[in-house]
Structure 1
């Protein structure tokens, strides 16, 4: 029989980033894309070496991939643990968690909502919450592990 310290009452799934943060990501991505297009139009990039071309192409690809995952990333809290989808998925099982705490940036929580920082052994994993249901579950997890001390 395994002892697990925390078990959620129900499964909770929601976006990892709130709508305002997604809007901010859209504005920054559009600005960077426009700036990149401005650079392409002003400079004769075909005359530069393959390294410069590869660097600019790599930067553009990473911008598109990051933007895609900002919009699509989700967080799930279930009976197995906490999972956040991204380019690579972050997953922590309940049996591996040593402590959990919510952290936030004072006065900027309307842009950057609080995050759940989970300690597993020597590593820390951060989970973002973009919906009220996920943030409430994060608060319950944080409270449960603070009472454990």
Structure 2
């Protein structure tokens, strides 16, 4: 089957929006268990850091390795925080997700979409007119079902 990397026609888009009703569909980008695991991992890192500092002393922070560990920890903490608050929305205008930077694609700009159901994260990879893929996370059942329907709409197109 040949892939068609053109945006959906108005009729195809209307049919897709009818298939994924009721709109808007809004939910957390990450499942609750993934968010809980992220906090647990972060807590274990803090605990391990306290144990290491008690053995080696705080002066280890003044080394290059210590500085790199602090930077990596801060990056993990920021990522974990955004995982907790990130929201994905599908509506008549397109797809949006709050993240460190806002992800937003209008339906008119979507040329292809692929649902990727991974263990920890169900994702919709959306290709835009610019050819740039944008990844949306779906942490709720409603978002995941909508992702699958969007992917099927692009996969089952008649050229």
Structure 1 and Structure 2 fold alike (TM over 0.5): yes
Is 1:68 the counterpart of 2:77? The answer is: no
- Equivalent residue number for residue 134 of structure 2: 125
Corresponding residue pairs, total = 142
Pick aligned residue for 1:31 from 38, 44, 50: 44
| TM-score (norm. length: structure 1) | 0.81
1:33-112 equivalent positions in 2, closer than 5 A = 33-46=46-59, 49=62, 51-105=64-118, 109=119, 112=120
Contact 1:6 1:141 (8 Å CA) reproduced:
no
* CA distance in structure 1 between the aligned counterparts of 2:60 and 2:53, rounded to whole angstroms: 12
Contact 2:126 2:135 (8 Å CA) reproduced:
yes
* CA distance in structure 2 between the aligned counterparts of 1:74 and 1:48, rounded to whole angstroms: 36
| TM-score (norm. length: structure 2) | 0.77
Higher mean alpha-carbon deviation, 125-134 vs 38-47, is at: 38-47
- Equivalent residue number for residue 114 of structure 1: 122
Structure 1: give runs of 5+ residues left out of the alignment.
none
Is 1:134 the counterpart of 2:143? The answer is: yes
